[in-house]
Structure 1
Amino acid sequence: MDDDVRGDGTAALLAYSARRSLTDAGELDDVRRWLAEVEHQAPMRVRRVSLDDLEMWETDPSTGDISHRSGGFFTVGGLRVRIPGQPVEEWWQPIIRQPEVGILGILVREEDGVLHCLMQAKAEPGNARTVQLSPTVQATRSNYTRVHGGRAVPYLEYFRDPSAHRVLVDVRQSEQGAWFHHKRNRNMVVQADSGVEVRPGFRWLPLGQVLGLLAEKDMVNMDARTVLSCLPFAREHGDPRPERRGDDPFLSALRRSCVRTEGALHSMVDVLSWITDARSRIEPRTAPAPLNALRGWRRAEGRISHESGLFFDVIGVSVEAGEREVTRWAQPMIEPHGQGVVAFLARPVDGVLHVLVHARVEAGYVDVVELAPTVQCTPQTYTHLPASARPRFLDEVLAAPAERVRFDSVLSEEGGRFYHARNRYLIVETDADPAAVEWPDFRWMPLHQLAELLRHSHYVNIQARSLVACLYGLLGADTRE
């Protein structure tokens, strides 16, 4: 790494790695071939089966709740939700309860001044693209304590006892609050020495290459995205290289957005006060409800569905996988109806890129509200809801001209619990007046403020974290020398 970027330590190493490890066509083809080889050598076979026929799972005769006979893993139950003041104030739904905290960990090392990540080619039963780039370790507590009686999780020791190594990231983060109730995972990045054995199904990849692959459809899984978003990219000092005539103003503003001294439209004190006010003002009321008595939902033909045909189903799958800790199992999964849209509106404010975040309430959050993207929805859902429920800014995102769309990729959500759940992730440049579009639940924030919040739990939701990782990926578009 150049001497002039060492002063900012880890943040400078990350910035240098992002721009020095660009993905060219040959590198991309190589990663594709590797994923295809792993899938060919250890194929995963997934069959849809009736919820009534899930081996090792049972339905409570009084509530209809579905749980594993071991008492581990997760339970599918019901939830009654009331959130006064929302476009839809009350509803009932199935939800996954998984109180244990899992580990999502990426092992990294520095090679020739560039950070490399030990990525896993991992298959999940719900993935639309079966094998995706995943963290080094991606395991629930039930998995890594071997409730299933299977093999040990590779590389787990680096994350169960990280004190022997340099920890870059260690923070608990939430997952989808619409489908999980109080679900959290420990997101970790641990730096190791050069003596790490590379096992089959794993490969060291430059950080910039991993970030660049976020632009590839279904290539990098959700668990890798959330860990990457927590990397401490925020810096105290700007880029020592002078800007040149012809530099892309958007990318220049993006670089400055990672620098704390470049400022922000709102101070961090004001941002924290705004979040606290939303958490104090909004009072969601949730209560467990029997899965077999949820208003508007029915269990028939081996699945649980909403009477409207919208939202999602709870389905069953049977899985055979030769290279997993357990080679054969069955489980329930959530299957959403329709592809979602997840988008940031972005614009420079005084030369610093800001994104428009939404203080969003979801029934499954631990602390009422988390910062979400500008738009986060499944558009077809709103055919069933009143017009007032249509998400603000959705139409602007969908109608954006191509030259305003800075990032556009379809990415899968967590394939261990969700079946073919995919969202179209977008970063859309806007020239809207910042003051004119800041509604009570929306604020403009630069990346360095989001990075600061990501050092702590339950501030930035899983969808926004994916988009933060995608913004870091755009840093690799800077080819200046």
Structure 2
Amino acid sequence: MDSAAEPLHTSGSAVSSRRAGALPSRLAVSALATEGGVMSNDAFHAWFEERQRTHALQVSRIPFEELQGWNFAPGDGNLRHDSGRFFSIEGIRVRSDYGPVGAWCQPIIHQPEIGVLGIAVCEIDGVLHCLMQAKPEPGNINGVQLSPTVQATKSNYTRVHGGSAVPYMDCFIDADPGRVLADVLQSEQGSWFFRKRNRNMVIEVGPEVEAGEDFCWLTLGQLGALLRHPDLVNMDARTVLSCIPDWRAGSETANSGLHSDTEIRSWVTTRRARHEITTEPLPLRETEGWRRSEKAISHESGLFFSIVAVDVSSHRREVPTWSQPLLEPHGLGVAALLVKRIRGVPHALLSARVEPGFLDVVELGPTVQCTPESYARLPAEDRPRYLDVVLDRRPERTLFDAVLSEEGGRFRHARSRYLIIEVGDEFPTGTPAGFRWATLCQISELLKYSHHLNVQARTLVAGMRTLP
């Protein structure tokens, strides 16, 4: 039974009192429950394979002129939906002091509305479980991936498309503050989205909320194991999982980090104050270096990404048929985090990244974040710092290695190889100005606030929490 629309009857104060002082231990129990609770691991994989068959999407590339409900505006050439909602493809001109290229033009996805990414958690037989959804997206390389309980833009949950209601939405829109475990606005890819934000939420619910046929209850330990499977746990689930309080962070002492919390925050503020970036709107038809053909908008070099159009049909989505543009990256991305024990405490090496779509100039990213093919024509000195360390990694030092998909509702077959690599004492503790070591506790503290860790870093934080 899908009771998503039913009101919640347990009081928020009762949930709060049950959680008070006990949340880290409750999360720890769930994180260590790797063999399954409500659903065994074998039962999950059987259920998920069945959901993939049931939700198979028919997706085909089409010419732009066959897009239904989308048009290039006569004046600026921007690609917009007839309703004026959802999102649009527009142009921007960028000038920046970050990276090897100081100025460029590009298309970008403009989606000003704030969506909701939410995971409902419930204590079942003494163990916290997350309510996860098998959700198809047109850009997924394998159709269906494991997503949060709710993954919806405002246009979706207000039903601009005229489709069915989003299940479980009421759990998040009308959430009792006493049930909130996490609630923070977070960004998405700053190179592809213009100031896109989603509300990342984790809400505790009671036993009256049951899993519908496309949903299942999984422990944090089960989800941690599934993160290592290629293209299984989607980007939206990973970012919400990273925002859950880290049950291990309390094991650190206040002065165990190489840098204090104040020093980390001051460094972030300094990078934001010193870097300069201007992003100006530009008619899509005037984006220099980009060419529009019958089926794609692509850079003349063949690098970076293309904008393409697809036709989609599904008998299980809110809307059975539709067409839309998607951003299709060229090449497999690399997002790698170097970790090192300093004074016996694990630290991660974060980079201060400047991307044109960030709301606040700088967000902290992985040590290395790039698509190596994009640097093929640049001199060696312009390659991302530490990329060679990542490419020359030793297998026994690689703690996490998984190819995972980016968001399938706006990107087509966008994938990155996520790596966590341990470095030894020979790796310098001193860092260039754009990098800093931070402990797990410090990173978890930053995740309580908006626009500090980018979406790639958040995936790696979720991966770090699966390590012994």
- TM-score normalised by structure 2 residue count: 0.93
1:260–1:448: 8 Å Cα contact kept in structure 2?
no
How many residue pairs get aligned? The number is 449
The one of 215, 226, 236 aligned to 1:202: 215
Counterpart in 1 of 2:286?
293
Indicate if the aligned counterparts of 2:56 and 2:144 stay in contact, CA closer than 8 A: no
Please list, as runs of the form range in 1=range in 2, the aligned pairs for 1:406-425 lying within 5 A after superposition. Answer: 406-425=399-418
Residue 434 of structure 1 contacts residue 444 of structure 1 at CA under 8 Å; is this kept in 2? no
Query: Is 1:341 aligned to 2:334, yes or no?
Result: yes
Correspondence for 1:182: 195
Confirm whether residue 171 of structure 1 aligns to residue 164 of structure 2: no
User: Does structure 1 conserve the Cα–Cα contact (< 8 Å) formed by 2:33 and 2:222?
Assistant: no
**Within the alignment, does 1:390 sit opposite 2:383 as a pair?**
yes
> 1:167 Cα deviation (Å)?
0.6
Of 86, 96, 100, which aligns to 1:73? 86
CA distance in 1, matches of 2:423, 2:94: 35
The Cα offsets for residues 76-134 of structure 1, whole Å up to 9 and x where unpaired, read as 00010000253111111000000000000000011233210000000101111211110
Residues 167 and 189, structure 1, Cα contact 8 Å, conserved in 2: yes
Q: Does 1:37 align with 2:30?
A: no
Q: Show structure 1 runs of 5+ residues with no match.
A: 1-5, 239-258, 476-481
Q: Secondary structure of the equivalent of 2:85? A: coil
**In the alignment, what sits opposite 1:249?**
none
CA distance in 1, matches of 2:157, 2:290: 34
1:162 maps to a residue whose letter is A
Within 5 Å, give how 1:304-319 maps onto structure 2.
Answer: 304-319=297-312
Match status 1:83 vs 2:110:
no
1:10 aligns with 2:23: yes
Which string of whole-angstrom CA distances, capped at 9 and with x for unpartnered residues, describes residues 245-269 of structure 1?
A: xxxxxxxxxxxxxx35462110010
Distance in 1 between the 2:87 and 2:356 partners? 18
Aligned equivalents of 2:432 and 2:265: distance in 1? 16
1:269 is matched with 262
Q: 2:136 aligns with which of 103, 114, 123?
A: 123
Distance 2:28 2:426 in 1: 30
Q: Which residue of 2 aligns with 1:327?
A: 320
Q: Which runs of 5+ in 2 are unaligned?
A: 1-18
Change (3 A) 1:236 1:428: closer
Deviations 1:431-456 (A, max 9, x none): 15565551100000011101001001
Deviates most, 386-395 or 416-425: 386-395
1:439 corresponds in structure 2 to 432
Question: In structure 1, how many angstroms separate the alpha carbons of the residues matched to 2:416 and 2:452?
Answer: 21
* Change in CA separation of 1:104 and 1:260 when aligned onto 2, cut-off 3 Å: farther
1:140 aligns with one of 153, 163, 177: 153
CA RMSD for the aligned pairs? 1.8
* Secondary structure at 1:425 match in 2: strand
Q: For residues 365-401 of structure 1, give each alpha carbon's deviation from its aligned partner in whole angstroms, at most 9, with x where no partner exists.
A: 0000000000000111111333332111111111111
Q: Which of 346-355 and 156-165 deviates more?
A: 156-165
In structure 2, give the amino acid aligned to 1:295.
E
2:67 counterpart residue number: 54
Asked whether the 8 Å contact 1:96–1:180 carries over to 2, the reply is yes
Q: CA contact under 8 A between 2:55 and 2:136: conserved in structure 1?
A: no
The answer as to whether partners of 1:8 and 1:237 remain within 8 angstroms in 2 is no
Contact 1:296 1:306 in 2 (8 A): yes
Between the aligned residues of both structures, percent identity stands at 53
- Give 1:99's aligned residue: 112
Q: Distance in 2 between matches of 1:262 and 1:470?
A: 25
2:379 and 2:341 mapped to 1: Cα distance?
A: 34
Mark the CA change 1:350 to 1:11 in structure 2 (over 3 Å): closer, same or farther: same
How big is the shift at 1:301? 2.7
Structure with more helix by fraction = 1
| Cα distance in 2, alignment partners of residues 136 and 56 from structure 1 | 28
- The one-letter code matched in structure 2 to 1:455 is K
The change in CA–CA distance for 1:260 and 1:98 in structure 2 (over 3 A counts) is farther
Q: 1:376/1:23 Cα in 2 relative to 1: closer, same or farther (>3 Å)?
A: farther
Per the alignment, in what secondary structure is the counterpart of residue 162 of structure 1? coil
**Alignment correspondent of 2:224:** 211
